[in-house]
Amino acid sequence: MSKAGLNWQGDELKAQLIEQLKSALGEIGLRVEGEAKKELQPGHGVLTGTLRRSLHAAAPSYDFAGDDVTPSESSPERGNQAPEAELLGDRLMIAVGSGLVYALPVHQGHGDFAGYHYLTNALDRVAPQALDIVRKHTGGKR
C-alpha cells in the first residue's frame, strides 16, 4: 500500500501572489500619477510645471519631503518609474504624491490656490480599473 503525501506549497504561493499584487499596485500607482499630471495644466494649477514633474508613485516609506525644490522650468521629472509597493502588516501599499511644500495647498485650495484636487480626481478615475489591473497581474479571470 502506498502512502499519500501532501506537498504543501502555501508559503511559495503566498509569496508569488504578493509579488504579483505588488506589480499590480505599482501599475495602479503609475496610472494615478499619470491622471494627476493630466489634471495640472497651464491655468489650472501650473505655473512652471514643477509640481506636475514632482508627482510620482513610490513606496509608502519614501521620503517625499526630500524632493522639495524651488519652482523652475528645469526642475527634475520624478515620475514615470515603476514604484515598489510595500507590505505593511497585512496590507500592500503604494503612495502617490509630491514633496513640494505647496503641493497640498494646491490640491486642497489654501490662500492663493484654487484647490484642484488633482490627486483625488486621479484616484477616482483609476479606481474603476483596479480590479482589471489586479486580474491582469495575477492571471485572474473575469
Number of domains forming the structure of the chain: 1
Give the alpha-carbon dihedral of 95, 99, 101, 105, to 10 degrees.
Answer: -30
Give the confidence band of 142 by pLDDT, cuts at 50, 70, 90: low
Q: Which residues of 93-125 are buried (b: 16+ CB within 10 A; e: fewer)?
A: ebbbbbbbebbeebbeeeeeeeebbbbebbbeb
3 inside domain: no
Q: What is the mean pLDDT of the chain?
A: 90
What proportion of the chain, given as a percentage, has pLDDT over 70? 96
Higher pLDDT, 1 or 67: 67
Distance, in Å, from the CA atom of 73 to the CA atom of 51, rounded to the nearest integer, reads 10
Q: What is the tens place of the pLDDT at every residue in 82-94?
A: 899 999 999 999 9
1 inside domain: no
51 inside domain: yes
2 inside domain: no
23 inside domain: yes
Q: Which domain holds residue 67?
A: 11-138
Rounded to an integer, the average pLDDT of 42-50 is 86
Q: What is the tens place of the pLDDT at every residue in 110-140?
A: 777 777 899 999 999 999 999 999 999 999 8
6 inside domain: no
What pLDDT score was predicted for residue 62? Answer: 94
Q: What is the tens place of the pLDDT at every residue in 48-78?
A: 999 999 999 999 999 999 999 999 999 999 9
